[in-house]
Each structure stands twice: as C-alpha cells, then as structure tokens.
Amino acid sequence: MRKIQIIFIVVILFMASCNRSSKELTKAKTNKPIETEVNKAKTVEKKTVYEEFDFFYKKFHADSNFQVKRVKFPLEGYAMDTAEQSKPWNKSDWIMHRYTVQSVDTSMFKIETSATNNLYYEKIYIEGGGFASERVFKRLNGKWYLVKFIDEDL
C-alpha cells in the first residue's frame, strides 16, 4: 500500500508540474501582443529613399510627364517678356524644359550653379542683359522638385 501512495503522489506532482508549465506558457503568450501584419507595419521604420540629383535631372529633361509631376505648382517665379509684363507659372501653360546647363553654349551664355545636399541652383544669362533664366530645385521627402523658375527675355 505504501508503494501505491508514493506512485500516486509522484503522479499528482508530475501532473501539477505539467499543468503549471502550460499555464506559464499560456500566460507568457497572452502577455505578448499578437504579431500581425498590421503590427509589423506599425513597428517598421519608414525609410526615406534619397533620389540622386543627376538621375532626376536627366529624367526631368527627357520625360514630359515626369517633369510636370516634379514641378511644385503654383511655381514660385515668373516669366518676363519684351513687353515687360510678368506672369506666374501655371500647370496649364507649362512648356517642357529640355535644356540642361550642360547643353548651353558657354561662348554665348554665362552659367552659375551651386548645390547642397537638398538644393540646386542654376542661372544661365547673357552678360550685360537681354536674357536670364534661373531655376531652383529642392529635395522634398527624398525626391527632387523644381520649386522656382525665373525667365527674363528682354
């Protein structure tokens, strides 16, 4: 009879131990938030991809649809014609820019450029007057945009 009591106590202890382990596992699982696709999306950091200016600049001058998407309308600046009337830049009357500073005839025109990580400035002009064109490109949320354009043709 003594053997039966010992076996019975061992079985009860074993069952209690198993039951306790499963409760601890259940508790550990319920304390941890359920990982779903939504939770994963919230915890993943949004990384900004920085577009290279040279890539943007080439595509800007080659693709009219891309260019219109990358001009921040209403665009700061103006166009001044020979009648000395200035008008703002609108999306509806935008004419595609195909020229790059690299394609300008420097025997006739002067060029000024400056650049930082997030800003690019260019000016093409005839020394002494008559013509000047200034453009400012700015990186916004990792992508480049034309944000200012002044065109003077007097």
Q: State which amino acid sits at residue 17.
A: S
**pLDDT confidence of residue 48:** 77
Taking 80 as the threshold, does the pLDDT of residue 4 lie above it? no
pTM here? 0.67
For the domain covering 53-153, report its CATH number: 3.10.450.410
b/e per residue 3-17 (b: at least 16 CB within 10 A): eeeeeeeeeeeeeee
Q: State which amino acid sits at residue 152.
A: E
Q: How many other CB atoms are there within 10 angstroms of residue 100's CB atom?
A: 13
pLDDT for 75-84, tens place per residue? 999 888 655 6
pLDDT for 44-64, tens place per residue? 566 778 999 999 999 999 999
Q: What is the mean pLDDT of residues 104-131?
A: 94
Show me where the domains of the chain are located: 2-43, 53-153
Q: How many other CB atoms are there within 10 angstroms of residue 117's CB atom?
A: 8
Give dist(CA 72, CA 135) in Å, integer: 12
**pLDDT confidence of residue 8:** 47
